[in-house]
Chain A
Amino acid sequence: PHAGPVESKNEAAMSELVPEPRQKPVVPMKPMGINANLLGYIGIDTIIEQMRKKTMKTGFDFNIMVVGQSGLGKSTLVNTLFKSQVSRKSSGWNREEKIPKTVEIKAIGHVIEEGGVKMKLTVIDTPGFGDQINNENCWEPIEKYINEQYEKFLKEEVNIARKKRIPDTRVHCCLYFISPTGHSLRPLDLEFMKHLSKVVNIIPVIAKADTMTLEEKIEFKQRVRKELEVNGIEFYPQKEFDEDLEDKTENDKIRQESMPFAVVGSDKEYQVNGKRVLGRKTPWGIIEVENLTHCEFALLRDFVIRTHLQDLKEVTHNIHYETYRAKRLNDNGGLPPMTAETEENHESNL
């Protein structure tokens, strides 16, 4: 929030609007420029600190979905991203398990904490996707799950007695794993992303990128970007939601150069040059996961967690959820969907 110039005649009105009473400055208000602290100080900027403290206390939800054929390293990557055992891999999942005959949706929740901030992380895995002989419409269970979470949220929102904090199970981010064939996308990749980019934020990643040399990687990424563009697939960060020039410049660079991120995941540590690093050991060298000359894992991590986490949630809430809500209301003749409570009251009103 920027502190703009304040007219003295508005000062009294403003203090009425401020919810928490604050000591009035001793010096009477004069029109202020940017250097507010020279003439008097309101303290609007402390709101940031207040929000931060509140977030720390309440913590926040983040729901990330991983989609891709079995064996592309989804579970390992998620564990690497959050430096914890948070994926299916950690909770009784056996590598020897058979591929399920249909797509299953498995959501696993964990609370992780860093620097006093608590995150309730839910990893939604989709085993069975793309593994069958006939994969027609295998994205349907996934689309259904995503819409179900929007529906759940909507029902809570239209309740008469609403919860203080509606539990947010909506999918904020969907990592789509592309097989590193080095050729092009597969038909299934196109179909999935075409359908789902309209309901959820999709971040395409190239899995097991240690299978490609530098040239192969650059060529493959270019080809994939072109294919996505030609087929009208808008992955996150979507161009139409860039808020200002600053966003656009930053996101353009990511969209046109970095994405899709070619990643390598690992939850094992090795000693390299006296440091312990996450990596993969091969007879011809150690692949360091967080080394930018080896792979782009660090870029993905910074993007999803350190810079765009909040934006992912906002786009989900303000765009995808609102789209769903509008459609539901339209289908319902402009009325909100019924919950058990509203149904009762509706009848009594009649």
Chain B
Amino acid sequence: QQPAQFTNPETPGYVGFANLPNQVHRKSVKKGFEFTLMVVGESGLGKSTLINSLFLTDLYPERIIPGAAEKIERTVQIEASTVEIEERGVKLRLTVVDTPGYGDAINCRDCFKTIISYIDEQFERYLHDESGLNRRHIIDNRVHCCFYFISPFGHGLKPLDVEFMKAIHNKVNIVPVIAKADTLSLKERERLKKRILDEIEEHGIKIYHLPDAESDEDEDFKEQTRLLKASIPFCVVGSNQLIEAKGKKVRGRLYPWGVVEVENPEHNDFLKLRTMLITHMQDLQEVTQDLHYENFRSERLKRGSRKIEDEEVNKDQILLEKEAEVR
């Protein structure tokens, strides 16, 4: 973004606060951004590959994929990895929260408890820090966005997808994603997207809505926002392998029948997903703060006051009992 041109400070009547955006910008650049992205979906839907492709990194260098027999015993785990990405002087401290084990068990009844607890814990911690004495260095580990991976092999949402999204849509911004999109023809993709959107509406699931472009934005940006909104859920293909195609090296997947290019908008929505995430990182954080966190906070404080009373009653009770014992 170009720094705003401000008028000559010598002009009479000029105050100078038009420079504020530049100051904020400079401070942000110095401070860097923090962003926590949670990734949820069954094994094998292409989550790790997509995350690595989005951020051009290898977040899982020593990964061991367990076999089916081991998965039978496993419960859902929460694994957070943090990576610092810098681009043109701007630092991003990205935390990716992975949820291995989700959707793998034969009985997935308890699948989401661990995940919901994690999200609530981060809110709890932030609430605690916010109410504390030293508020200078509050670390924001709240989950700003959750990529929920829907299988490209099905005919739409599965019962587990519906139940999970309903359980977290009031706690986190949900962005539904369909990875391994190269398994679908263009027609199949359109059909699947429409089916999923219909089912989301039918079940009253609240997914993250991109804000409409402001009226003062330029036409290109407005058009881009329109296109992004129309493409949800995004059908993406991830890869960090370089393939030779049409004389140049592209990131893609090589099949006997052709090459799927990750960054080709005619092949999949990868660029759209990346654009959406980057241009709306700020908004995702705001909605988390203003909506989800505030919801949690007001619920918590309402409950909290009742809870503290109960605790005090119990203390008195215990004292009485102890006295009786001593007597």
Interface, chain A (partner B; CB < 8 A): 69-73, 95-96, 99, 131-136, 179-191, 207-208, 210-211, 213-214, 223, 227, 230-231, 280-288, 291, 293-294
Contacts and interface: CB of A to CB of B under 8 A. Distances in A.
Contact of B153 (A71, A96, A182, A185): A71
Interface of B is mostly: loop
B6 interface: no
B256 A187 contact: no
B45 interface: yes
Contacts of A135: 106-108
Interface string B152-169: 111100111001000000
Contact of A294 (B71, B158, B256): B256
Interface of B: 42-45, 65-69, 71-72, 104-109, 111, 151-155, 158-160, 163, 180, 182-183, 185-186, 195, 253-261, 266-267
Contacts of B107: 133-136
Interface of A is mostly: loop
A258 B206 CA distance: 46
Contact of A131 (B42, B111, B158, B180): B158
A110 B293 CA distance: 59
A140 to B, nearest CB: 13
Contacts of A182: 44
Given A131-B158, A211-B182, A181 B68 contact: no
A133 B109 CA distance: 6
B151 A71 contact: yes
A287 B111 CA distance: 37
Contacts of A291: 256
Given A133-B163, A213-B254, 20 more contacts: A96-B195, A133-B108, A134-B109, A135-B107, A180-B44, A180-B153, A181-B42, A181-B45, A187-B68, A187-B71, A187-B72, A190-B68, A208-B183, A210-B183, A211-B182, A230-B69, A282-B186, A284-B267, A285-B255, A294-B257
Contacts of A283: 186, 266-267
Contacts of A186: 43, 68, 71, 104
Give me the 9 closest cross-chain CB pairs, A-B, nearest first: A181-B44, A285-B258, A284-B258, A71-B154, A285-B257, A211-B183, A185-B68, A187-B72, A134-B107
